[in-house]
Structure formats: C-alpha cells, structure tokens
C-alpha cells in the first residue's frame, strides 16, 4: 500500500469513529485487510486516534454520552475486522494474564486493546470484562495462578478501587505482578497504589508485561 492510500484509509477510519459512520469504518477496515498488511497502524493511528478526538469533543461539550456510545460501537466494528489480521508479535516469552476494568467503570475499549496485544503475543489471557467486582480479580488469579493481573480504570473515582485489589492480591500472593493503566493512571499514581508497573498505551503495556514475566522466570530459576 502506498503512503497516500495508507493516509486515506487512516483518515477514513478515524473520521468514521468520530462521526460514528459504521459503514465507512467497515469499508475502510476491509480495504486495509485486503492489502494484506499488518493492521497495527490501522488500529492505533486510525481507530484509536478517532476515539481520542471523541474524548476531546466530549470535554468541549460538543459530544455527550449518546455520541460517545455510538463512536465506541463504530470503533468495535473496525476492531472486529482488523484484529484477526494483526501480525503475531514474537516476544520469546509467554505469560498468563488476568485482565479487567474495575468495579463501577464500564469503559472497556482501552482494556480490550491491551488484551489484544497480549493475544497477538501469544499470552494466555483471562478477561473478566468490565465493571468487575474487586474480589473477582483475586479469585481469578488464585484459580489461574496467573503471572500478572492487569487492572484498567478510566475515571478518577473508579481508580480508587485499584489499591484495594492490589492489597488483596499481594497479601495472598506477593509474587504476582500487577500492571495498571487507563487515562487517570500516572507513574506516580501507580507507585502510590502499590502496583508493579503501568503503561500509557497498549504496546508499552505488552513491553512492561514481558519484562515482568522475564523477572518472574528469573526469580523461579534462582530459587
């Protein structure tokens, strides 16, 4: 695909999300897939960029909740088409992850995109969904003995559930690594909450997770 075509498709994907034109998103996504190229850029520079614009429009009181919902629906239509065609990432490590959006919070786009990165890296992922009761993270971790638990929160209110989950899990299983993220999460917040790490986007989330799994394996080797 040449640069001009790529530019055009990215624009149609992001605009399609902003204007919640389901058909436009679907067609642009299908065209991208037909080129046979990795869909990574289509997802991040197309769909996610569009959703960032939606966030700005919401802050400017141009968009309200119905518009955000419609845009989220369009994004998911594109994601469903593009996701299966994202190239596998070879990271040389495979981990087990429990992931979910914390109680009270229904924002799940970011969480699903992080999950997608784990999927293409060949991790085993247990997705608890959104608005997840805090104890469920502990339950699932104990059941799956996962290396990592990933918590997502998009609101300053709901992120306050995170330290509670972290405490619960660390008490039962101090070796389990906890990675948190979402718009209100900074390095500072992650440190205060007692998390083992955070990442500002999905690729960094995978990078962090890989480091964590490597550290865990080293720990096991040495003990």
Residues that bind another protein (CB under 8 A): 20, 61-67, 69-70, 73
| Residue nearer to another protein on the CB measure, 21 or 208 | 21
- Is 98 a binding residue for ligand B12 by CB under 6 A? The answer is no
Strand pairing partners for 150? Answer: 99, 179
DSSP code string of 152-204:
E--STTGGGGHHHHHHHHHHH-TT-EEEEESTT--HHHHHHHT-SEE-SSHHH
- Is 150 a binding residue for ligand B12 by CB under 6 A? The answer is yes
Question: Which listed option, another protein, ligand B12, none, makes contact with residue 43 (CB within 5 to 8 Å by class)?
Answer: none
109-120 and 202-222 helices, crossing angle to 10°: 50
What values do phi and psi take at 198, rounded to 5?
-145, 170
Query: Distance (Å, rounded) from C-alpha 199 to C-alpha 202?
Result: 7
Query: Distance (Å, rounded) from C-alpha 194 to C-alpha 69?
Result: 33
- Is 201 a binding residue for ligand B12 by CB under 6 A? The answer is yes
Q: CB under 8 Å to 192, separation ≥6 — which residues?
A: 163
- Is 157 a binding residue for ligand B12 by CB under 6 A? The answer is yes
Query: Distance (Å, rounded) from C-alpha 138 to C-alpha 118?
Result: 20
Question: Which listed option, ligand B12, another protein, none, makes contact with residue 183 (CB within 5 to 8 Å by class)?
Answer: ligand B12
| Residue nearer to ligand B12 on the CB measure, 156 or 175 | 156
| Residue nearer to another protein on the CB measure, 61 or 88 | 61
Interface with ligand B12 in residues 2-61 (CB under 6 A) = 48, 51, 54-55, 58-59
Question: Which listed option, ligand B12, another protein, none, makes contact with residue 150 (CB within 5 to 8 Å by class)?
Answer: ligand B12
Instruction: DSSP letter for 89, please.
Output: P
- Is 68 a binding residue for ligand B12 by CB under 6 A? The answer is yes
- Is 92 a binding residue for ligand B12 by CB under 6 A? The answer is no
Interface with ligand B12 in residues 170-199 (CB under 6 A) = 179-184, 198-199
Identify each DSSP E strand in the chain by its residue range.
96-101, 124-127, 148-152, 177-181, 197-198
Residue 102 three-state SS: strand
Q: Which one of residues 12, 97, 102, 105 is an interface residue with ligand B12 (CB under 6 A)?
A: 105
Sites of contact with ligand B12 (CB under 6 A): 48, 51, 54-55, 58-59, 65, 68-69, 72, 104-111, 113-114, 150-152, 154-157, 179-184, 198-199, 201-202, 205
């Amino acid at each position: 695909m040449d640069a001009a075509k790529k530019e055009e498709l990215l624009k149609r994907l992001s605009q399609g999300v902003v204007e919640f034109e389901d058909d436009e998103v679907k067609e642009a996504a299908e065209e991208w897939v037909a080129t046979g190229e990795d869909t990574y850029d289509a997802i991040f520079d197309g769909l996610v960029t569009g959703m960032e614009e939606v966030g700005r429009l919401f802050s400017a009181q141009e968009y309200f909740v119905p518009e955000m919902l419609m845009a989220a629906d369009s994004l998911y239509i594109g994601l469903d088409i593009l996701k299966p065609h994202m190239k596998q990432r070879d990271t040389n490590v495979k981990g087990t992850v429990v992931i979910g959006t914390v109680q009270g919070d229904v924002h799940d786009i970011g969480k699903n995109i992080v999950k997608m990165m784990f999927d293409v890296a060949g991790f085993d992922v247990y997705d608890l969904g959104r608005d997840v009761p805090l104890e469920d993270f502990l339950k699932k971790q104990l059941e799956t003995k996962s290396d990592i638990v990933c918590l997502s929160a998009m609101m300053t209110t709901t992120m306050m559930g995170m330290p509670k989950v972290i405490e619960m899990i660390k008490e039962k299983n101090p070796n389990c690594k906890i990675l948190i993220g979402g718009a209100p999460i900074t390095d500072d917040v992650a440190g205060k909450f007692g998390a083992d790490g955070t990442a500002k986007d999905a690729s960094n989330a995978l990078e962090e997770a890989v480091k964590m799994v490597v550290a865990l394996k080293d720990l096991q080797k040495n003990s």
